[in-house]
Amino acid sequence: MSATWNLPIIDLTSLDRPSTLLSIRQVCIEYGFFYLVNHGLENDLAKAFDDSRSFFSLPLQEKMKFARNENRGYSPLDPTLVSKGDSKEFYYIGPLADSTSANLNQWPSDELLRNWRPSMESLYSKFFGVGKKVLSLIALSLNLDEDFFEKVGAIDKPAAFLRLLHYPGEMGPHQEICSAHTDFGTLTLLLTDGVQGLQICRNKLEEPQVWEDVPHMEGAFIVNIGDLMERWTNCLYRSTMHRVKQSGRERYSMAFFLDPHPECVVECLQSCCSESSPPRFAPIRSGEYLNERFKIQSA
């Protein structure tokens, strides 16, 4: 079953802060997904997608010179995953703030793709800036200090990754080209090139599942919270299941995963628990949690 759903819209420049915080709280409780407008990257999007296409247009042997290592670089189409409904190639760019981590990133030479590295580094930094603003709004919506996530070490050298994605188009018999999942971390910012396919399921624990198409909104981010934020909020804020359905058309997107520093302890927020609603999860370090989730996923 599927329907069409226009997500709630959050305006990052709204001067009506109380209304914005109320909207953030409502959409995170009810949907876990929303559109984000007036984020400041509107004039950068066309070039960003052009840069992404320029990399994925390279011959496979050139792309494989940047084969994924330490969660940075290129991953080609995986035939074993295509057979399961995951038909995409992608390129990961990791944290830039810490020199040790930044040196793990892989970059095409200027001769191969002129100015590609500085363009991507700039894009990464802008995504990160928007993500920090959204986290500040989420903190305020939970009756926390605006800089709560900074104070607990969540975005001090965070595990933040920019993922460029390319779906080649018609691939195999499956309806899905990215299988149903929730994001493991805290916050995801998504940009798409306008080709439809994203669907969300708000009743992930119920049967039958109802899938809703998410229409493209020109220039807007699609923002969703992940499982760590759901855990932090004692399941008050929802990590919503989503997938990408096959349309038969080539599709490009960019996802920025803003996850905490691996040593950051994620534990139930005081504003999200009470005597009648005690913490559902024990405290856990972000890195330990994410490693365990990825291990289960790859098993």
**What was the pLDDT predicted at 177?**
78
* Residue-wise pLDDT tens digits, 207-216: 788 889 999 9
**What was the pLDDT predicted at 180?**
87
Mean predicted lDDT score pLDDT of the chain:
90
**What was the pLDDT predicted at 145?**
95
Q: Report the CATH number that the domain containing residue 69 is assigned in CATH.
A: 2.60.120.330
Work out how many domains the chain is built from and give that number.
1
**What was the pLDDT predicted at 210?**
86
Q: What is the C-alpha radius of gyration for the chain, rounded to an integer number of angstroms?
A: 19
- pLDDT of 195 higher than 60: yes
* Residue-wise pLDDT tens digits, 5-22: 678 999 999 999 999 999
By the 8 A CB rule, do 42 and 11 touch? no
Question: What's the chain's length in residues?
Answer: 299
- pLDDT of 217 higher than 60: yes
Q: Of 180, 195, 189, 185, give the one whose Cα is nearest residue 134.
A: 189
- Cα 260 versus chain centre, distance: 13
- pLDDT of 81 higher than 50: yes
pLDDT band at 80 (very low <50, low <70, confident <90, very high): confident
- pLDDT of 261 higher than 50: yes
**What was the pLDDT predicted at 4?**
62
Question: Taking every pair of C-alpha atoms in the chain, what is the biggest distance, in angstroms?
Answer: 62
Question: Domain limits at 273?
Answer: 2-298
266 three-class SS: strand
- pLDDT of 161 higher than 80: yes
pLDDT band at 1 (very low <50, low <70, confident <90, very high): very low
Between the CA of residue 43 and those of 4, 119, 132, 280, what are the distances in Å?
28, 13, 20, 43
Between 174 and 94, whose confidence is greater?
Answer: 94
Instruction: Summarize the confidence of residues 237-249 as an average pLDDT.
Output: 90
pLDDT band at 157 (very low <50, low <70, confident <90, very high): confident
d(CA 296, CA 182): 14
